[in-house]
Structure 1
Amino acid sequence: MNNTLLSTRKRSVGEWVKSGSPWVWLNAGAVAISLVLVIGLLGLIAFRGLGHFWPGQIIVADYQPPGQTIRTVAGEITDSEEVPATRLESSGLDVVDGQELYTRDLLKQGNRDLSGADFVWIVDEWLSSRQYPENIMVLERREWGNFYGFLESVQEGGATVVTGESAWTIFNERLDRALVIYEAIYQIEKHDIGSINASIEQLRLAERRLELSGDIDPVRQAEIQAERKLLNQEYQQLETQLRDLYRAFNRDSFVARTVDGQTLEQPISKVVRAYQPNTMSLTDKIGFYFDKVGEFILDDPREANTEGGVFPAIFGTVMMVILMSIMVTPFGVIAAVYLREYANQGWMTRAIRVAVNNLAGVPSIVYGVFGLGFFIYFAGAKIDNLFFAEALPSPTFGTPGLLWASITLALLTLPVVIVATEEGLSRIPRSVREGSLALGATKAETLWRVVLPMASPAMMTGLILAVARAAGEVAPLMLVGVVKLAPSLPLDGNYPYLHLDQKFMHLGFHIFDVGFQSPNVEAARPLVYATALLLVIVIAVLNLSAVAIRNRLREKYKSLED
């Protein structure tokens, strides 16, 4: 009876395995684990990145390691960890006998120009007399990072205006005034003077072009000189405005004191933001948080990319992906249509397909080297000699830029689009083609009006995969156009408006630069998480837009496929 029961169980297990149910459960489990890991990773990135913008409490305490002189420290505790006593002893610190673990805090003390370091590790057990004074302030500065301390006085033209508790209100009024002046200076320097300089450069190139062609004459030369004179006059007027603005910008200054008694005197124009976190309500902190997030998304970077925003990197990433998509889609579709619809299905076509599949596995840095050698040094140099000879020896397209980066990534993602489009073309029933031909349509009309519209969801699938890969690539971009800091955006109000020859910033390279080449590692670490989250969001938005278009096309042509 036991043998009969055992054979029955074996039979039922065998039937269960043959039914395929175990593989369904295994696939479901693998998908579930993958989703948990992805969500957990995104949650970690979001927590570590977005938490950076929340204003933390500023602690003031006495700190005395065993055997050392007591000193006062102040700052924001940004991280804590448990460390063994042996680790502290290896750092030259004395520990209490019998205590094996200590809590170590990472204190953001700021005042880098006075203390030499933004961050310092302190042992929590050695802190005493902890206080959270309401009048301690945090100043975000354009240089030297944050300042933590107490406001002593506000000065105007070297004369003290106000001291004591009322100085904070006057300081904020003067700071608001300085920020308004800074926006006016930025507008003149970045846009108005930039536009004049661009026009002067265009005149110089036009004059040089006439000289090279031998068509220059006194009349045309006089016209150029007259235009240059007008532009120089406008430039002088703007310089006068700038001098007046800078004089007003640097009029006010302040005197502040650190918790250890050091004094700092600095112009208010060096301050970006001032706040007293220990007196802020929850509503104030929420408003501050969203203000900081908005600054991160919309402003330019500063302080070696460890402060400010990443808008140029966002713009450069999106612009490059859009240009790449415009380039790769038609070429990928044309190649797929030829291989599937027109080429003889012989050994040559099979060899081309194998080559295309192999290209999808080539390391991206190889494409970067190819783009540098062929597109920049060869094609770009030829373009400069033919069309921009007046600008030589300064290269126009014979140098890394947005155009070559987009073309290089289009070449990198081309195999993905070809394969996806071919798959879509192969799924279209032969009867659809034959029906169109039977109604009198030519092969080209059938392809254009019937086949390609029905294959458009597959094309969008290929584009989605291409965007997902291209947006996160960094290695080839380091050779063909991306830079740490671009002085201006590739798109502006100066002719020809879209400057394909300019270098640009990229979120992926920004992460690499801030994370691995920053002189201030601790300050840069939260921005690495925040920028990584932003890159994921940008890629998700681009992909979801393509997915929405694909789903709409799929629903539109679903009846034809059925």
Structure 2
Amino acid sequence: MRVSLKEWTKSGEPWVWLNAGAVAICLIMVVGLLSLIAVRGLGHFWPANIHQADYTENGNTLRMAGELVEIENVPAAQLRESGVNVPEGLEFMQRDLMKIGNRDVGGSDFIWVLDDFMLNRTTPEMMFAAERREWGNFYGYLRSLKENGQVVASHDGYEKNAEYMNVWNKFQASIDRALDLHHQIEEIEKDDIGAINYELERLRLKERSLQLKEVTDQSRYAEIDQRRKELDAEYQSLQQVLLDLYTQINRDTFTAEAAGGQVLEIDVAKVVRAFLPNNMSITDKVLHYFAKIWEFMSADPREANTEGGIFPAIFGTVMMVILMAVMVTPFGVIAAVYLREYAKQGFVTRLIRIAVNNLAGVPSIVYGVFGLGFFVYFLGGHIDDAFFPEAKPAPTFGTPGLMWASLTLALLTVPVVIVATEEGLSRIPRAVREGSLALGATKAETLWKVVLPMASPAMMTGVILAIARAAGEVAPLMLVGVVKLAPSLPLDTNYPYLHLDQKFMHLGFHIYDVGFQSPNVEAARPLVYATALLLVIVIALLNLSAIAIRNHLREKYKALEM
């Protein structure tokens, strides 16, 4: 049976196919974008081979070595205009971005070179890469290892042999020793000395509080002085331990020869890891790859956030979103319940709903300015006056911090929770409420035991939408609590354990900082992709957790809807 075009159009089937095609295109675009981010970001951690070549341009020859990062084709006419001697007959030339490292030697660890001018290209097995705590990577040949200034192993050739492997194995053992000492130093400085400094500050504030209250009981001051002396003694003891550790960690050095022939002597303590990428098997490279990814997720950043990990940013993002959800959910639910169940449905109620819907469209930076002015300066300043006068003029809550950032985002997302909860309450049949009241329940009991449980999936939908928006916000956070690098996490073992007044790191701001404020753009670019992918994963995990809770509540109270 043939159907005319007019009847087919009236049936609505074309619009079904059109919507299906639109959804398919959107899914392809999302998957493609995530795939691009994943490839660009995760590919950074793979141990690429080190190429060595003689680079000849306009009569000048330079021996160079590095990793191939990017390839592009450049018009030959553009190169001729810039003074490059390009052979006739070529329309395009391949240009390579090489990561040559050795910033302390050449001043820049990335360079663009023309592929045709790279001669005698090799991948020497003996050339190693060393990741350093400063000055970026070093590429070169290991020459000797020194302990207390005395050479304990050395090698001068360019071929891999037993003598070289002896130097290399001792070098690796020295790196492991330095990493262990560095870990001990970090624990003492951050945990032990950090706890002492924190308690000393609390004693200072306690003493200042007694002075402001004009307390004359000298025994209370004596207790503070006695405790301060005990802490000072502990501090001096830890300082001596630190001095011994620093002496030990600075014992070893190594000399290495760069591709250009320069020989450098470097402290082993400045090396995070060293490896021979040209001599690694596939298994070794896979293990190295996952070790680097784990470091990225679990370590602190270094080198202006272009090296190391982003664990503080992950922790800060998750902590802020959890606090925001805890703050926004009760307020949004209470507001929705009042508007739907108790408020008289008239002009004022309609006006409030319009205002709530309009709040959802206000730019986020406006919320940031409001949070800075009201929460930080006004509310935080008054809290300092009332509860922390001993700390003034240094602010406690009168400065951007975790609590104000969470409150600002809670205010930003509360319209979403209100609207979603109201929609859930409106879908509950009137007969359910009337049946509960007919059985003798009060209105409050009906609301608490029947209506709210049935509307809980809608509430969780609002929370999911709020989390999805809040986790990716950056603009307001720049004003109310986020910083480039936080010295410590807002959650630690010092009372009161959760420090709501502390500033914190955030994945969204980290992407902005690394991508647009970094002094080393080429080194930061892959980390922008990797951090963006991780932010998407964190948001997805938070949303999936909320969705699981919503589905559980939906199944639990499904019987009430029957």
Q: Which interval holds the TM-score relative to the shorter structure? A: over 0.9
Aligned to 1:87: 78
Q: Which amino acid aligns with 2:19?
A: N
Q: Does residue 466 of structure 1 match 2:466?
A: yes
CA distance in 2, matches of 1:289, 1:333: 46
Q: State the Cα distance separating 1:216 from its structure 2 match.
A: 4.2
- Matched residue, 1:296: 296
Match of 2:431 in 1: 431
Q: Which sits farther off after the overlay, 405-414 or 70-79?
A: 70-79
Once the 2 structures are TM-superposed, how far is the Cα of residue 92 of structure 1 from its aligned partner? Answer: 2.5
For residues 469 and 337 of structure 1, what CA distance do their matches in structure 2 show? 23
| Corresponding position: 1:21 with 2:10 | no
Aligned-residue sequence identity (percent) comes to: 69
Equivalent in the alignment of 1:326: 326
SS state of the match for residue 214, structure 1?
coil
Residues 280-359 of structure 1 aligned to structure 2 (within 5 Å): 280-359=280-359
Rounded Cα–Cα distance in structure 1 between residues aligned with 2:342 and 2:266: 73
Q: Which residue, 99, 108, 123 being the options, matches 2:99?
A: 108
Classify the secondary structure of the residue corresponding to 1:70. Answer: strand
CA offsets 1:126-155 (integer angstroms, 9 cap, x no match): 111111111101010000000000011111
Letter of the 2:68 counterpart: I
State how far apart, in whole Å, the 2-side matches of 1:215 and 1:498 are. 30
How far the C-alpha of 1:161 sits from its partner, in A, is 1.5
CA-to-aligned-CA distance 1:4-37 (integer Å, 9 cap, x gap)? xxxx97x732222222111111111110000000
- Of the structure 1 ranges 33-42 and 118-127, higher mean CA displacement relative to structure 2 is found in 118-127
Partner Cα separation in structure 2 for residue 555 and residue 35 of structure 1: 29
Whole-angstrom CA distance in 1 between matches of 2:10 and 2:232: 85
In structure 2, distance between residues paired with 1:217 and 1:89: 85
Matched, 1:210 2:234: no
Note the C-alpha offset of 1:71: 1.4
Residue type at the aligned position of 2:402: L
**Does the residue aligned with 1:472 lie in a helix, a strand or coil?**
coil
Structure 1 CA distance, aligned partners of 2:65 and 2:235? 47
Q: CA deviation at 1:559?
A: 2.4
Q: Secondary structure at the match of 1:509?
A: helix
Amino acid at match of 1:94: N
Tell me how far apart the structure 1 counterparts of residues 434 and 97 of structure 2 sit (CA, whole Å).
Answer: 72
Distance, in Å, in 2 between the alignment partners of 1:517 and 1:480 is 19
Distance 2:453 2:15 in 1: 36
Q: Specify the code of the residue in structure 1 equivalent to 2:79.
A: L
Quote the residue 1:492 is aligned against: 492
Deviates more, 1:299-308 or 1:124-133: 124-133
1:60 aligned partner? 52
Per-residue Cα deviation, 1:143-189 (whole angstroms, up to 9, x for no partner)? 00000000111111122121011321111111111111000000000
Q: Where does residue 231 of structure 2 map in the other structure? A: 231
SS class of match (2:495)? coil
Report the CA distance shift for 1:484/1:90 in structure 2 as closer, same or farther (over 3 A).
farther
1:37 to 29, 33, 41: 29
Quote the residue 1:397 is aligned against: 397
Give the match for residue 4 of structure 1: none
User: What does the per-residue CA deviation read over 1:332-373, in whole Å, with 9 as the maximum and x for residues that have no partner?
Assistant: 000000000000110110010000000000000000000000
- Report what 1:5 is aligned to: none
**Counterpart of 1:120 in structure 2: which amino acid?**
I
1:187-206 to 2 correspondences below 5 Å: 187-206=187-206
Write the mapping of 1:140-179 to structure 2, written as runs, cut at 5 A.
Answer: 140-164=131-155, 165=164, 166-179=166-179
Tell me, yes or no, if structure 1 residue 75 matches structure 2 residue 57: no
Q: CA deviation at 1:91?
A: 2.9
1 CA distance for matches of 2:142 and 2:270? 15
Q: Is 550-559 or 423-432 further displaced after alignment?
A: 550-559
Tell me how far 1:214 sits from its aligned partner: 1.6
Which position in structure 2 is the counterpart of 1:420?
A: 420
Specify the code of the residue in structure 1 equivalent to 2:26: S
Would you say how many aligned residue pairs link Structure 1 and Structure 2?
A: 553
Displacement of 1:387:
0.2
User: Can you list the C-alpha shifts for 1:380-417, whole angstroms capped at 9, x where unaligned?
Assistant: 00000000000000000000000000000000000000
CA distance in 1 between counterparts of 2:186 and 2:550 reads 43
The reply to whether residue 51 of structure 1 matches residue 39 of structure 2 is no
Between the aligned partners of 1:313 and 1:546, the Cα distance in structure 2 is 21
Structure 2: which amino acid aligns with 1:114?
V
CA distance in 2, matches of 1:496, 1:556: 37
Q: CA deviation at 1:114?
A: 0.5
DSSP 3-state at the match of 2:345: coil
SS at match of 2:219: helix
> Does residue 1:241 correspond to 2:241, yes or no?
yes
TM-score by length of 1: 0.97
Deviations 1:184-212 (A, max 9, x none): 00000010000000010111011111111
Asked if 1:121 corresponds to 2:115, the answer is no
Show the 5 A alignment for 1:531-542.
Answer: 531-542=531-542
Structure 1 residue 213: Cα displacement? 1.0
Q: Distance in 2 between the 1:245 and 1:298 partners?
A: 24
**Which structure 1 residue ranges, 5 or more long, are not aligned?**
1-7
For 2:479, the equivalent position in structure 1 comes to 479
Partner Cα distance (1:531, 1:64) in 2: 37
Which deviates further from its counterpart, 266-275 or 152-161? 152-161
SS at 2:471 equivalent: helix
Letter matched to residue 34 of structure 1? C
Instruction: Say what the alpha-carbon RMSD is for the aligned residues.
Output: 1.0
Q: 1:265 matched to which residue of 2?
A: 265
Letter in 2 for 1:227: R
Aligned equivalents of 2:80, 2:439: Cα separation in 1: 89
Cα displacement (A) at 1:68: 2.2
Rounded Cα–Cα distance in structure 1 between residues aligned with 2:560 and 2:219: 67
Give the residue type in structure 1 aligned to 2:355.
Answer: A
Which residue is equivalent to 1:3? none
Residue in structure 2 matched with residue 551 of structure 1 by the alignment: 551
In the other structure, the counterpart of 2:406 is 406
- Please give the secondary structure, in 1, of the residue aligned with 2:60: coil
1:334 partner amino acid: I
Q: How far apart, CA to CA, are the structure 1 residues paired with 2:6 and 2:310?
A: 59
The 1-side partners of 2:372 and 2:504 are apart by 16
Q: Which moved more, 1:83-92 or 1:380-389?
A: 83-92
- For 1:181, the equivalent position in structure 2 comes to 181
Letter in 2 for 1:353: R
3-state SS in 2 of match to 1:505: coil
Matched residue SS, 1:545: helix
Q: Does the residue aligned with 2:312 lie in a helix, a strand or coil?
A: helix
Report runs of 4+ in structure 1 exceeding 3 Å deviation.
none
Classify the secondary structure of the residue corresponding to 1:230.
helix
Whole-angstrom CA distance in 1 between matches of 2:228 and 2:36 = 56
Q: CA deviation at 1:427?
A: 0.2
